[in-house]
Amino acid sequence: MLERPNDLRSCSLADAFMTIGGKWKPYIVWYLNTAQNFTMRYGELKRHIPWTISHKMYAQQLHELEDDGIITRHEYMEGNIRVVDYTLTEAGRFLVPAILYLRDWRAVFGGFPDSTLTRTQGSWQDKTISYLCEGIDGSGLEARIEFDVARTLEESLANSEGDAFFEPEI
């Protein structure tokens, strides 16, 4: 047991933030999640990131994600050309619901129009968004995050003059 349980230096939260911290890591995970078989080639993945990123910073972020077990690197030859692919691991796939939640959390609390939530990648049921990830190859692992958007927006709107809550198309 920790002597100081609220000391984040010895907590898994600090390690989690170190793992996903970095300007580009969430985007790398995001775009690998959208790829077929969770895999993209080095250059293709870099082109998906909509901002300019130096080769050095991009390679460093990929290397750190690989070291932390979030992605795997596959290098092989296609004729005379060396090809490098990156794939989300199971651990990386389990980060995705948290990233999706953070995106929608910011849409609600960041001054964005309520209609921004129509772009959610979570699943709507009533006025709750659920984010689900199931383990690979029947591992039995499952992560589910639920966000009661209706209650959050209703409380927010009661305290401001924001948009009226929209009804999502399900």
In the three-class reduction of DSSP (H, G, I as helix; E, B as strand; rest coil), residue 98 is classed as: helix
With cut-offs at 50, 70 and 90, classify the pLDDT of residue 5: low
**Residue 166 clears pLDDT 60, i.e. is over it:** no
Q: In this structure, are residues 104 and 98 in contact, taking their beta carbons and an 8 Å threshold?
A: no
Q: In this structure, are residues 126 and 150 in contact, taking their beta carbons and an 8 Å threshold?
A: yes
Tokens of 157: 């709107």
What does the pLDDT read at residue 26?
Answer: 92
Task: Taking each helix axis as running N to C, give the angle between helix 96-109 and helix 149-158, from 0 to 180 degrees, rounded to the nearest 10.
Answer: 20
Strand 142-148, strand 128-134: pairing: antiparallel
What does the pLDDT read at residue 168?
Answer: 46
What does the pLDDT read at residue 139?
Answer: 74
What does the pLDDT read at residue 154?
Answer: 61
What does the pLDDT read at residue 152?
Answer: 62
Residue range 7-66, pLDDT digits in tens: 766 778 788 888 888 889 999 999 999 999 999 999 999 999 888 899 999 999 999 999
What does the pLDDT read at residue 165?
Answer: 44
CA 116/CA 118 separation, integer angstroms: 5
Tokens of 116: 């921004």
Q: Name the DSSP class of 138.
A: G
**Residue 119 clears pLDDT 70, i.e. is over it:** yes
Q: Token pair 């080095």 is at which residue?
A: 42
Residue range 55-113, pLDDT digits in tens: 999 999 999 999 999 999 999 999 999 999 999 999 999 999 888 888 888 888 888 88
